[in-house]
């Protein structure tokens, strides 16, 4: 007997519950996948992307990694993005970070956890780039919150700078990239208001990033 029997039981109850409100739900789902959204978020176990924004299975394509980073050498993230944009034709890419992110905190504290330190080096690069913005924050918590926000904004820029999104924009495909941040303490997502849907908007946003990052949205 599986030691994870309780999870399989939970799954049966979940599927039954969905079938009660829509008997053909899974049958329809198995025939087509056409999500409008791609989510790029943190792996944090306290965040449940689809259900926490009221979406059903099939409505959002999801990529998650520690600290929700978008790097131009990460074939995993880029492959997800390419498939989402070119095959699924998603209309929105949401980069979502969160306050109290363990990955961002580890980077900020320069903690040592092993291999992952190399991944989080990207957050440290952002931290050094925005050193003066972070220094202007009063408390340790404020600095950390600000770094969480700035990192999301930087990832929105990274998404917009990929060949995948730039090529899509240049062939007239509509894609909007958004930056959100989640507060675990109240379960609410906040829009960082850095959405871009063209190369021009990306350039304008990039120019405003420094100024914008001086103002906390929390």
CA angle 145, 146, 152 (to 5 degrees): 95
CB of 103 to Co ion, least distance (A): 5
Residue closer to Co ion, measured from CB, 49 or 103: 103
Q: Is 69 in the site for Co ion (CB under 5 A)?
A: no
Q: Is 120 in the site for Co ion (CB under 5 A)?
A: no
Active-site hit among 77, 96, 101, 148: 101
122 has catalytic annotation: no
Alpha helices in 22-115 (DSSP H): 25-31, 49-52, 75-82, 102-109
Q: Is 44 in the site for Co ion (CB under 5 A)?
A: yes
Residue closer to Co ion, measured from CB, 19 or 121: 121
Q: Of these, 35, 37, 41, 42, which contacts Co ion (CB under 5 A)? A: 42
* Token output for 184: 């675990």
Question: Of 43-51, 142-150, 174-182, 187-195, which segment contacts Co ion by CB under 5 A?
Answer: 43-51
Strand order in the sheet with 188-191: 60-65, 37-42, 92-98, 176-183, 188-191
CA dihedral 116, 182, 60, 11 (to 10 degrees): 80
Active-site hit among 63, 77, 96, 98: 98
77 has catalytic annotation: no
Cβ–Cβ < 8 Å for 39, 60: yes
Q: Is the dihedral of CA 101, 104, 106, 108 positive or negative?
A: negative
Q: How far apart are CA 46 and CA 37, in angstroms?
A: 21
Residue closer to Co ion, measured from CB, 55 or 116: 116
148 has catalytic annotation: no
Cβ–Cβ < 8 Å for 157, 213: no
Q: How far apart are CA 201 and CA 151, in angstroms?
A: 19
Over the window 78 to 117, marking each residue x when it contacts Co ion by CB under 5 A and - when it does not, the resulting string is -----------------------x-x--------------
CB of 47 to Co ion, least distance (A): 8
CB of 199 to Co ion, least distance (A): 30
Question: Of 34-42, 85-93, 141-149, 191-199, which segment contacts Co ion by CB under 5 A?
Answer: 34-42
Question: Of 15-23, 44-52, 70-78, 159-167, which segment contacts Co ion by CB under 5 A?
Answer: 44-52
CA 81, distance to chain mean position in Å, is 12
Closest to 70 in 3D by CA, of 152, 169, 177: 152
* Catalytic residue positions, numbered: 42, 44, 46, 98, 101
Q: Which positions lie near Co ion, rule CB under 5 A?
A: 42, 44, 101, 103
């Amino acid at each position: 007997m599986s030691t994870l029997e309780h999870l399989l039981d939970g799954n049966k109850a979940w599927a039954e519950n969905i079938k009660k409100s829509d008997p053909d739900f899974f049958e329809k789902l198995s025939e087509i996948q056409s999500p409008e959204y791609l989510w790029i978020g943190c792996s944090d176990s306290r965040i449940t992307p689809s259900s926490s924004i009221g979406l059903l299975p099939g409505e959002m394509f999801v990529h998650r990694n520690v600290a929700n980073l978008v790097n131009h050498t990460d074939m995993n993230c880029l492959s997800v993005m390419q498939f989402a944009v070119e095959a699924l034709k998603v209309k929105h890419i949401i980069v979502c970070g969160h306050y109290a992110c363990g990955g961002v905190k580890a980077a900020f504290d320069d903690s040592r956890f092993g291999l992952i330190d190399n991944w989080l080096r990207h957050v440290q690069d952002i931290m050094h780039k925005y050193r003066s913005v972070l220094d202007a924050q009063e408390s340790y918590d404020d600095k950390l919150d600000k770094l969480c926000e700035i990192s999301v904004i930087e990832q929105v820029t990274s998404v917009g700078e990929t060949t995948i999104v730039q090529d899509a924009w240049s062939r007239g495909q509509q894609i909007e990239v958004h930056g959100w941040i989640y507060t675990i303490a109240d379960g609410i997502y906040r829009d960082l208001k850095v959405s871009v849907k063209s190369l021009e908007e990306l350039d304008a946003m990039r120019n405003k990033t420094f100024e914008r990052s001086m103002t906390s949205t929390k």
